[in-house]
């Protein structure tokens, strides 16, 4: 049926309509306004209800019936209701519609934001990806998102947002969950593209659905609830990620894999629930899930007529009617909308461009360019990220005969595990590295006097975070020297052989120190300071500083003092004196004891591994 123009109605309705006349449209009886009312009163009434103008009423009856508008049966220009009734109804709409929309928006924000949280859990290294590849994946997402915007809205208008939105949420949730199985750059690009394509147009689709129930004055307020929800979701998911990322090692999965799987599961549940939460329109709320519907007959009439009186054009299409090519073209050439497009483009240039590179260390590219120290950048970003400090635990590569009984020395394992556990409790990312990328265990290090409790449990469990991390030990030359905030030298007598000449470990430690990080060592670990020179002064980093380490008395107790002398190996005490540092001795060789001097933290023995790690954390966080 061809829709008549308003001009044709003006011509055909040129005769006056008396106040006693009645018009019948199907089962709906309409009574025109009293022609004797005052002009001011008429203007006020028409502002609230444009259908009181007989010509407008006649026109829109033809339009609504011609387009099969689903709510036409409830259209009644003469229908009245009280302010109290409307307030009560709006409360119901807030619960049924606005709250449901905010919950669905939560699903969008969860799967949008967890990638940046995953970055804090060694995501790039686990996948063998570079920052450039990560940025390329984000670009793929944005391009797919933009390209899907218009097609998504066209599909939603044709099928109905109550059908398409639940499908969107469920579909992108499944893809988001599948990110737990990422294996490299190409799978990353693929999932980014699919998520962008499925999320594109979602907000516009949701706004369309909201417009079926709220007036033009009410809708902006409900949209503001969206963005408030977004902020709260960002806070909550950051805290949730702090917990989930600690699951690294459970089931052999990295923390970020659990993050994608669990948060994707939450959004999938939201998507399934949205089939229940959404209805086609105010007159179509009764179905097998809602046998009684949302509204009484009177409430339905209020919902429909208040919306149409606010904006009569909302009834010019039915809710399963697609957009034609001509309609789409006309929307593009509507120059009244062009300023909104410009605002949309310009509004996020600053935050979007800057934020893409304002990532957690070690990817704070702009912060580095601006010469922020690493600890400064960490605290600057800390309000949104809990898991962003990176610590490197250095391990000796030496593994050979050392003890008089022919036993070998190497890594004294509790001096690596215990710092690792303390750093992970703080949410820090922790990597292991040795000069050659290999290590062996000291023959005595698993004795119950040294390896017990939580450390032993981590050591014995092949799926523990520690076991996974140490199995992925890096070769120091393969590590980016500017990647870490904390450098911690674990020990074992093997360190006496390779730490003094470990140039690549020295480079990492020096970079950490120069950028404001903390360099720590325990037991024989302070041997790392031998040949560790400050380029600015040409002198040893520890010159003039207080340090500690394994005591000469302890070496004699173990029966290796003479062995070290024969092999021309210095004790920590001897090295300290050579470098111009002050050696601070504990009361006893087996006391838990640590010394802090600025950004240098040292501990005495295996019993000091925990307290040295704790002092390291304190030194870092006090900067």
Residue pair 615/557 in contact (Cβ under 8 Å)? The answer is no
* Cα–Cα distance, 515 to 436 (Å, whole number): 25
Collect all residues with Cβ–Cβ distance below 8 Å to 283 and sequence separation of at least 6: 70, 71, 73, 74, 300, 304
Catalytic residue among 435, 524, 570, 614: 524
Give the separation between CA 113 and CA 91, rounded to whole angstroms: 31
Contacts for 87 with CB less than 8 Å, ≥ 6 apart: none
| 524 catalytic per annotation | yes
Q: Are 56 and 13 in contact (CB under 8 A)?
A: no
Q: What value, to the nearest 5°, has the Cα angle with vertex 126 and ends 133 and 179?
A: 75
What is the rounded CA–CA span in Å between residue 99 and residue 598? Answer: 52
Q: Any residues with CB less than 8 A from the CB of 232 and at least 6 apart, and which? A: none
For the question of residue 318 being annotated catalytic, the response is: no
CA distances from 452 to 447, 448, 467, 607 (A): 8, 6, 15, 11
Q: Does the active-site annotation cover 61?
A: no
CA nearest neighbour of 89 among 295, 378, 292 = 295
Check residue 411 and report its DSSP letter.
Answer: B
Identify the active-site residue in 71, 199, 523, 614: 523
Q: What is the DSSP string of 120-154?
A: TTTHHHHHT--HHHHHHHHHHHHHHHHHHHHHHHH
429 closest CA partner among 152, 115, 118, 182 = 118
Give the whole-angstrom CA distance, residue 551 versus residue 605.
8
Catalytic choice (102, 555, 614, 621): 555
Query: How far is CA 622 from each of CA 387, 598, 619, rounded to the nearest angstrom?
Result: 17, 10, 5
Catalogue the active-site residues.
523-524, 555
């Amino acid at each position: 049926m061809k829709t008549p123009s308003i001009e044709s109605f003006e011509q055909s309705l040129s005769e006056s309509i008396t106040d006693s006349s009645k018009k019948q449209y199907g089962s709906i009886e309409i009574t025109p306004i009293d022609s004797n009312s005052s002009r001011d009163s008429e203007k006020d009434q028409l502002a609230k209800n444009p259908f009181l103008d007989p010509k407008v009423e006649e026109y829109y009856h033809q339009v609504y019936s011609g387009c099969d508008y689903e709510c036409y049966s409830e259209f009644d220009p003469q229908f009245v209701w009280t302010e109290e009734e409307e307030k009560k109804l709006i409360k119901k709409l807030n619960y049924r519609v606005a709250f449901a929309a905010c919950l669905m928006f939560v699903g969008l924000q969860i799967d949008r934001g967890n990638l940046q949280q995953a970055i804090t859990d060694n995501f790039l290294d686990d996948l063998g990806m570079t920052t450039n590849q990560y940025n390329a994946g984000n670009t793929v997402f944005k391009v797919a998102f933009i390209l899907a915007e218009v097609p998504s809205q066209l599909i939603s208008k044709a099928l109905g947002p109550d059908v398409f939105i639940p499908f969107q949420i469920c579909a992108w949730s499944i893809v988001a969950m599948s990110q737990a199985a990422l294996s490299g750059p190409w799978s990353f690009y693929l999932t980014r593209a699919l998520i962008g394509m499925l999320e594109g147009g979602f907000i516009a689709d949701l706004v369309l659905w909201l417009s079926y129930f709220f007036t033009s004055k009410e809708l902006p307020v409900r949209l503001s609830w969206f963005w408030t929800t977004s902020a709260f979701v960002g806070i909550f998911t950051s805290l949730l990620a702090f917990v989930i990322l600690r699951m690294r090692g459970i089931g052999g999965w990295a923390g970020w894999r659990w993050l994608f799987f669990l948060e994707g599961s939450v959004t999938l549940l939201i998507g399934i629930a949205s089939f229940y939460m959404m209805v086609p329109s105010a007159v179509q709320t009764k179905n097998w899930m809602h046998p009684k519907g949302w509204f009484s007959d009177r409430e339905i009439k209020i919902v429909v007529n208040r919306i149409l009186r606010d904006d009569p054009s909302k009834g010019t299409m039915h809710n399963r009617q697609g957009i034609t090519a001509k309609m789409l073209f006309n929307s593009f050439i509507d120059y009244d909308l062009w300023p909104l497009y410009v605002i949309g483009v310009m509004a996020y240039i600053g935050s979007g461009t800057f934020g893409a590179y304002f990532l957690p260390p070690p990817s704070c590219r702009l912060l580095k360019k601006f010469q922020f120290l690493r600890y400064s950048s960490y605290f600057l970003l800390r309000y949104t990220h809990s898991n962003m400090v990176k610590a490197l635990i250095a391990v000796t590569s030496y593994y050979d005969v050392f003890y008089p009984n022919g036993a070998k020395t190497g890594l004294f394992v509790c001096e690596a595990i215990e710092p690792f556990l303390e750093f992970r409790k703080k949410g820090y990312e922790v990597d292991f590295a040795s000069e050659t990328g290999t290590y062996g265990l000291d023959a005595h290090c698993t004795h119950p006097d040294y390896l017990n409790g939580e450390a032993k449990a981590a050591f014995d469990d092949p799926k523990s975070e520690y076991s996974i991390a140490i199995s992925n030990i890096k070769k120091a030359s393969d590590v980016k020297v500017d990647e870490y905030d904390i450098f911690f030298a674990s020990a074992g007598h093997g360190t006496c052989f390779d730490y003094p000449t470990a140039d690549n470990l020295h480079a990492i430690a020096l970079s950490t120190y120069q950028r404001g990080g903390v360099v720590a060592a325990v037991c024989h670990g302070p041997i790392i300071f031998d040949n560790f020179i400050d380029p600015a002064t040409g002198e040893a980093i520890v010159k003039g500083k207080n340090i500690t380490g394994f005591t000469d008395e302890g070496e004699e107790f173990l029966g290796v003092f003479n062995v070290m002398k024969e092999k021309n190996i210095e004790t920590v005490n001897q090295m300290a004196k050579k470098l111009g540092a002050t050696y601070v001795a504990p009361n006893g060789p087996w006391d838990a004891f640590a010394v802090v001097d600025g950004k240098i933290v040292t501990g005495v023995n295996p019993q000091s591994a925990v307290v040295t790690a704790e002092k390291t954390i304190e030194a870092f966080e006090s900067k």
